[in-house]
Structure 1
Amino acid sequence: MFRSKSIKLIGLLVLAVMVIGACTPAAATPAEAEAMEAEAEAPAAEEMAPSEKTIIGLSFSDFATERWKNEEVLMRGLLEDKGYEVLSAEANHDVKLQNDQIDNMVTQGASVIIVIAEDGDAAATAVASAAKAGAKVIAYDRLIKSPDIAAYISFNNVAVGYNQADGVMKALDVENWDVAANGPARVVKMGGSPTDNNAILVRQGQDEILDPLVEAGKIEIVADQWVDNWDAAKAVTLMENILASIGNDVDAVVASNDGTALGALQALKAQGLAGVVPISGQDATADGCNSIVKGELSVTVFKDIRELSPLAVELADQLAKGETPDLEMYTLAELTLNDALTGEVPCKFLPVVQVTKDNVYDVVVKSDFQAYDEVYRDIPDAEKPPKP
């Protein structure tokens, strides 16, 4: 019995050796051995080191406003050309969503975040969290009311409002307005979004022109409304309601951007007042400039975003490298007209240009800011200037 078991065991051992021999590869050549060694030393895909690119975030309040998507494309391209990884998000006018998106960018490792704030007060919460985590925030075009921001860059928004009101009053020829025969000129003020500090500064500039005229008895303000989110559709409704309440008795409208102005124009057009009542805009959009050459919108304000976006990218690059940008300090009280706010922020403001039918070709078209065919859309060939 013991001998039988031994024979069986020997047989099993022989079989095992045969199987192992069959499964063992032939001796590798030196080149094959080197390749196998390199493969063994290489980490698995999931263990590869993360990208060494520095991350920059772009946080937009919305893309409904024409200019924001254009600036997103411009900034993204410039940042990627510099070798940065770019995270971009659009909040669709949702304050909480924008704060969550900013927090998420910080979590993903963004060292700098450029923010177009939906609400300059609410965004301060996300800025505080970002600063605590070591991320730098640039308030782009719209102020975030926090001393924790690393920079605030925009255009001179007081000058924007000044040029709007100045352009409308010139179109009205207010200096020669016959108060004795007509009474004071009846003016509607249509402000921008009340959550956007720019709208406050624009109004300050408008009032530098309008207040002295009110005091002199040249004009009277017959309506004063603010347009949530700079929404053109809301501007239509507001203007319809204003016209109904004053019996269409209006001589001028000082609106705060092209979108709201074109909305107001829609309501004016329905009453036969488009092109009769001077009205202002801002941003020199294609539609706004087209309305100007048609004789409907009286004035817009040109803000060359081709200068602001590169400035933001330059600042982001400096901040990401730990450098200190050369900016001018302003107090939050100065920027918001609110003495209750304390602290300072580094700022830079770019100049603006008043645009009317007389200079839209030279300022907007010849500079390639807007396409000739867009600005002169639906204009008879005989009335068009030559293509630049």
Structure 2
Amino acid sequence: MKFLRKSLAIFLLLTMVFTIAACSSDEETKTETTTKTEDTKKEETKKEEPADDEIVIGLSLPTQQEERWVRDKEKMEAAAEEAGVKLLVQVANNDVAQQDAQAKNLIAQGIDVLILAPQDAAAAASIVEAASEEGIPVISYDRLITNTDKLDYYLSFDNVRVGELQGAYITDLVSEGNYIIMSGAPTDNNAKLFKEGAMTYLQPLIDEGKVNVIVDQPVDDWKPENALKIIENALTKANNDVQAILAPNDGTAGGAIQALAAQGLDGQVPITGQDAELAAAQRIVEGTQSMTIFKDTRMLGAEAINIAIALANGEEVKTNGAVSNNSVDVPSVLLTPYVVDKDNIDELLIESGYLKKEDVYK
């Protein structure tokens, strides 16, 4: 009997030991599993977060309706990809309010640098101010943003020089007679600079009475259809007696040539242009447009990304000028523009790879 009681006691004792051991093992397994799960979640969360050192550049463009702005966008996207930085792009479709909202949304996303080509030079000042409050530097791209002392850099071509090249070319061809003068959009500070440069050649001839200006008018939003209407009205006013047309860019030149063609005057009236668009190159070959200004946007777009990366890294930006925006002299990087006409179109536009010969000589 004693033997049975003793055996039972040993059995119960062993059962308790194994039970405690099992419970301890379960708890350790549960704790280990929970710890692994938490570690996994932390690792997954860590993977989803963007790299702290990734450079994010915001780009706000006014339009994609003109070939040159399409080229700018494509070049900057390619340059950003090659440099391994993130580029967030917004296009305002020639809408001032839309650009304001889009650019401020980019700022809210925590971009490192903003590249801004303004639809309205003065209105864009509020975007620059908003970026400055967040410590985000702004590059005014191609078009100068005015009326703010917070603008960091201006990147463009020498736009007064662009106008000088147009003015010198057209007055060399036609030093007397009736002129139609068009300037760019009133909201674009570049339009002011182009005209300023051109008038250094035209104004003396006007003052001497050699050149008679039939119409002197800006082209709203740079739209070809607006240029078309201006030229139609001017031709009617002058009874088609027109010897030269100063057009600020290729788009407005195209609209003007359409109006001239309707009167059988295309190819008979010298006309300027700018941007070296394919359609303009074709018209130069055909003889309906006299010249264009080549501003290599491949260089401009690549330089914009280079400057943005330097600013994001806190590095110094080398400039070669300063341009007043009515508030301050903005540190500027200004590239060189070139005249293109039938004599050098192959050299400048085709041999450089900017345009294809089979497209130009269609």
Regarding TM over 0.5, the answer is yes
User: What residue is the counterpart of 2:58 in the other structure?
Assistant: 57
User: What residue is the counterpart of 2:339 in the other structure?
Assistant: 354
For the structure 1 residues 363 and 41, does the alpha-carbon distance in structure 2 shift closer, same or farther, using more than 3 Å as the test? same
Segments of 5+ residues of structure 1 without an aligned counterpart are 1-25, 175-183, 336-340, 378-388
User: What residue is the counterpart of 1:129 in the other structure?
Assistant: 130
> How far 1:170 moved relative to its partner?
2.7
Q: Distance in 2 between matches of 1:50 and 1:87?
A: 18
User: What residue is the counterpart of 1:88 in the other structure?
Assistant: 89
Over 4 Å off, 4+ runs: 33-39, 44-49
Aligned length: 334
> How far 1:42 moved relative to its partner?
1.8
- Percentage identity across paired residues of the two chains: 37
User: What residue is the counterpart of 2:113 in the other structure?
Assistant: 112
User: What residue is the counterpart of 2:20 in the other structure?
Assistant: none
* 1:264 partner amino acid: A
Q: Deviations over 1:50-96 (max 9, x none)?
A: 21222100100111121112211211221122222211000001111
Q: How does 1:187-206 map to 2 (within 5 A)?
A: 187-206=179-198
CA RMSD of aligned residues (A): 2.3
1:268 corresponds, among 260, 263, 286, to 260
TM-score of the aligned structures, taking structure 2 as reference length: 0.87
Q: Distance in 2 between matches of 1:331 and 1:233?
A: 32
Q: Distance in 2 between matches of 1:226 and 1:208?
A: 18
The answer to whether the Cα contact below 8 Å between 2:321 and 2:332 also exists between their aligned partners in 1 is: yes
> How far 1:49 moved relative to its partner?
4.9
For the structure 1 residues 39 and 171, does the alpha-carbon distance in structure 2 shift closer, same or farther, using more than 3 Å as the test? farther
Q: Deviations over 1:292-329 (max 9, x none)?
A: 00000001111111111111111101100011212245
Q: Distance in 1 between matches of 2:177 and 2:319?
A: 42
Q: How does 1:22-101 map to 2 (within 5 A)?
A: 38-43=36-41, 49-52=48-51, 53-101=54-102
Q: Distance in 2 between matches of 1:267 and 1:46?
A: 62
Q: Distance in 1 between matches of 2:196 and 2:38?
A: 69
Segments of 5+ residues of structure 2 without an aligned counterpart are 1-24
Q: Deviations over 1:304-361 (max 9, x none)?
A: 11111111111101100011212245352xx5xxxxx332211011111111111111
Q: How does 1:260-339 map to 2 (within 5 A)?
A: 260-328=252-320, 330=322, 332=324
User: What residue is the counterpart of 1:235 in the other structure?
Assistant: 227
The answer to whether the Cα contact below 8 Å between 1:187 and 1:250 also exists between their aligned partners in 2 is: yes
TM-score of the aligned structures, taking structure 1 as reference length: 0.81
Q: Deviations over 1:259-303 (max 9, x none)?
A: 000100000010011100000000111000100000000011111
The answer to whether the Cα contact below 8 Å between 1:255 and 1:280 also exists between their aligned partners in 2 is: yes
* 2:355 partner amino acid: Q
**Which region of structure 1 is more displaced relative to structure 2, 250-259 or 143-152?**
143-152
> How far 1:106 moved relative to its partner?
1.0
The answer to whether the Cα contact below 8 Å between 1:116 and 1:141 also exists between their aligned partners in 2 is: yes
User: What residue is the counterpart of 1:363 in the other structure?
Assistant: 348
Secondary structure of the 1:43 match is helix
Q: Deviations over 1:190-211 (max 9, x none)?
A: 1111111110000011101101
The answer to whether the Cα contact below 8 Å between 2:270 and 2:289 also exists between their aligned partners in 1 is: yes
Does structure 1 residue 214 correspond to structure 2 residue 216? no
For the structure 1 residues 34 and 266, does the alpha-carbon distance in structure 2 shift closer, same or farther, using more than 3 Å as the test? farther
* 1:342 partner amino acid: S
User: What residue is the counterpart of 2:169 in the other structure?
Assistant: 167
